[in-house]
């Protein structure tokens, strides 16, 4: 999932200060699961903004709405009336959702209420861990399903850096060494011979180095 964290209320107040009628628009997918931007969080942020408005004499009028997905025009249309009535929109979606709203309503100020952080998984209640850098050239099949691009602090592709101690990362001692995890995983699935294969320097052209990426599925276009 896309993982994000809420901006502070102090920061949001400064962003919204020039406006009066503000719609706090939530998203019902990834940011709901990571407890940052769903219906519950929209209510919390809205309440905090109302309190800050009274304390600072800002005269905010806050309305609330959460749609299923902000990155999908079908669901964005469900919010069209509320967005049109507002002076500004505070989106609690990921960065993609914020931009989708801004593109759909080009004359409406749309602000990000969250900091989009990474693609990750829920490890335990309240703890999310980055697992994918969305590099555009996946090599998980070579490393037993463990990504050295994301999991190794140095992004080493051909074996450990030599600085780990007792299976812990040299850069982040609170984290396991990614290459120790890769070794154990390949051993468990009987593919240790993959460690003898030399991986060439990574081609980052499929990543952000070439600007915004586009995926086109001709079999789904109309």
CA distance 178 to 167: 9
Q: What is the pTM of this model?
A: 0.85
Predicted local confidence at residue 210, as pLDDT: 67
Domain edges within the chain: 2-118, 135-207
Of 2.60.120.380, 1.10.10.1100, 3.40.50.2300, 3.90.79.10, which CATH number belongs to 2-118? 3.40.50.2300
Predicted local confidence at residue 209, as pLDDT: 66
CA distance 90 to 83: 10
pLDDT in tens, 49-72: 999 999 999 999 999 999 999 999
Among residues 125, 154, 27, 121, the alpha carbon closest in space to that of 78 is found at: 27
Q: What angle do CA 156, 161, 163 make, to 5 degrees?
A: 140
């Amino acid at each position: 999932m896309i993982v994000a964290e809420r901006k502070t209320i102090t920061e949001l107040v400064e962003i919204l200060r020039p406006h009066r009628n503000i719609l706090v628009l939530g998203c019902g997918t990834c940011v709901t699961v990571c407890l940052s931007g769903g219906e519950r969080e929209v209510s919390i942020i809205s309440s905090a903004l109302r309190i800050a408005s009274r304390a600072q004499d800002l005269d905010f009028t806050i309305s609330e709405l959460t749609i299923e997905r902000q990155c999908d025009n079908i669901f964005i249309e469900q919010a069209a009336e509320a967005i049109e009535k507002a002076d500004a929109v505070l989106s609690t979606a990921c960065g993609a959702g914020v931009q989708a709203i801004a593109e759909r309503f080009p004359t409406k100020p749309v602000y990000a209420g969250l900091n989009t952080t990474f693609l990750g998984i829920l490890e335990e209640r309240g703890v999310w861990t980055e697992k994918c850098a969305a590099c555009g050239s996946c090599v998980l099949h070579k490393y037993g399903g463990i990504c050295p691009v994301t999991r190794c602090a140095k992004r080493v592709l051909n074996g450990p850096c030599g600085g780990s101690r007792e299976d812990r990362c040299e850069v982040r001692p609170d984290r396991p060494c990614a290459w120790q995890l890769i070794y154990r995983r390949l051993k468990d699935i009987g593919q240790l011979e993959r460690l003898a294969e030399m991986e060439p320097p990574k081609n980052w052209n499929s990543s952000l180095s070439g600007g915004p990426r586009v995926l086109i599925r001709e079999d789904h276009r109309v």
